[in-house]
Structure 1
Amino acid sequence: MPDATRKTISSTQCAALVGESKWETLFTLSEWFRGNELPDEADERMSWGLKMQPLLLEQAAEDLRLEKERL
């Protein structure tokens, strides 16, 4: 869990520090330390991406001959 005082980094944030995080970048980490957290609001590109994701996953699974697993 991130430090509420913003004086230390968590083990999860360490991955962003060395460029190995799937969810955070060095930029987003530095902005978090400055108190400039990015908004969670979806913009138009995010909205389109969310709508297209199921179709893209289905086509990729078909192209790569992968079994689809429902969660």
Structure 2
Amino acid sequence: MTTVLNPTGVLDVITSGTGSKKYKELPGWKLEVCVPTVLLNGNVTMTRASVEGWTVHYSNVTFMRPVLVMIRGV
């Protein structure tokens, strides 16, 4: 696939909660997550996220501590 889906690579932004989100599989692409570390009131956040196939698992996500779901060609 030679078309660029999104020049930033950001497919989705999760801004709250704990859980899992499944995405439609796109051959030739893979999912990655980015969890920015944010210092709030002197405390480092404990937002966590991981990828398993085309499912993203996340916990302790808030608007101030989002999870960026990225897509990258393989």
Specify which structure has the bigger relative contact order, considering alpha-carbon pairs within 8 angstroms and separated by 6 or more residues. 2
Q: In which range does the TM-score fall when normalised by the shorter chain?
A: under 0.3
Q: Which has the higher strand share?
A: 2
Larger radius of gyration, structure 1 or 2?
Answer: 1
